[in-house]
Structure 1
């Protein structure tokens, strides 16, 4: 495995080699996850698409291979809303080690009513946060076996304006879809920063990094049939928005940098350069409400209790 010189500026179009590395991308069949998978495959990584939908995963693999000749990509059936299935999914990776996992998959609902997973958790909080929290436990031995593995948690710009209600994490008393979604992404980001603290305390070689895509629109995203198609008309109508936001291909850049850049360190936050909404990836200051140790520790313990897992998550 070789990396570019650390003195060279990061170039999203000239990524360091990821040969010899295996990366699991949850939700790698669409959106940000798809483009992160495509870019990581182009850098030489073996990419595993974690998706509950085999048909969509197959379409994504066809597209990646058409844009990245020789791409090494495969599917892992993964349903983050079904906590009991996650250990089996991790076992089916059939790997000696895992170099990185990108916690990207997510559910976003726009309208009521409130929905729940089969385990009885609010759907967005249960899938976006609890599913990834639980999955991390089963991946911990594989990540610990790699020389310098990374857990990259994909948050959202929307989380900046939200605050967790630790007494109502699952929005049972006051459910508003957009706010509940933002809080589920905030919970993910808090998880990433708390995981970093815990990994450093145990002197683990695994790094926990948080990234977000900024403002990423389908209408500014290159077509990837059969995964997605953006018409010329849609792109033309969206052009004025490109002054502030970008496509999902560019939204994946901070995620890919968090996985591959040898200068990235645990506990960092990476996002787009221009107002945190668009542009090349850069390191951002961590908002205090995302990394407050008292809040993140309470969230961690509550999450462990909800999913019935060991709070240490099995790292070493």
Structure 2
């Protein structure tokens, strides 16, 4: 396990807290630009993700896949809560989320199972370019505020981009508010947006 320079467990720190902090700092400038959009990239791993609220910094236990899924659930909760708060504030900024499905990239090169079956599995995956489609749709396409976009075929891992499945936890306003408050406490950065 690694930690960020600030001492956070790296997956939660980079995948969520970094995104939260950067987005928060950019919001005033985004609000000055009509049509601005925040796109938060999650993963289909969020569907099985759980946030260990009692051990956010992985001081008691660490499982890299579990922490990854939890960090991606945090991404989904963050854009859900950000969208709710932006709408409540009548902000011109839109928040949406996306995930690439499973694309054939070098990210899995260190996973033993991928090394063994990679060429076969590669036939079932989107190309790296197609994996970028949901992010492009979310950033530049006609989308619904608060929408979530990803591949629509083969269990959400490949195919054309469209409205994607979200875990029930990813749309839970109690969890999203809790994450919002925890994120402010951990980063010391407050977006100043009232609860929806």
Q: TM-score range by the shorter chain?
A: 0.7 to 0.9
Question: How many residues are paired up?
Answer: 183
Give the C-alpha shift of residue 242 in structure 1.
Answer: 4.6
- Please name the residue that 2:147 is paired with: 268
1:313/1:247 Cα in 2 relative to 1: closer, same or farther (>3 Å)?
A: farther
Alignment of 1:253 with 2:133, yes or no, is: yes
* Cα distance in structure 1, aligned partners of 2:121 and 2:15: 27
Scaled by the length of structure 1, the TM-score of the pair is: 0.55
* Cα distance in structure 1, aligned partners of 2:13 and 2:42: 15
- Please name the residue that 1:129 is paired with: 16
C-alpha root-mean-square deviation of aligned residues, in Å? 1.9
* Cα distance in structure 1, aligned partners of 2:105 and 2:165: 27
Hey, which of these two has a bigger chunk of helix by percent? 2
- What 5-or-longer segments of structure 2 have no aligned partner? 107-114
Q: 1:183 aligns with which of 60, 63, 70?
A: 70
Q: Is the 8 A contact 2:50 2:66 kept in 1?
A: no
- What 5-or-longer segments of structure 1 have no aligned partner? 1-113, 220-233
Give the C-alpha shift of residue 139 in structure 1.
Answer: 0.7
Runs of 4+ in 1 over 6 A off after TM superposition: none
What does the per-residue CA deviation read over 1:145-186, in whole Å, with 9 as the maximum and x for residues that have no partner?
Answer: 111111000001111111212222222211111111111111
Structure whose alpha-carbon radius of gyration is higher:
1
Alignment of 1:158 with 2:38, yes or no, is: no
3-state DSSP of counterpart to 1:117: coil
Higher RCO (C-alpha under 8 Å, 6+ residues apart): 2
- Please name the residue that 1:60 is paired with: none
Query: Superposition pairs for residues 215-226 of structure 1, below 5 Å?
Result: 215-218=102-105
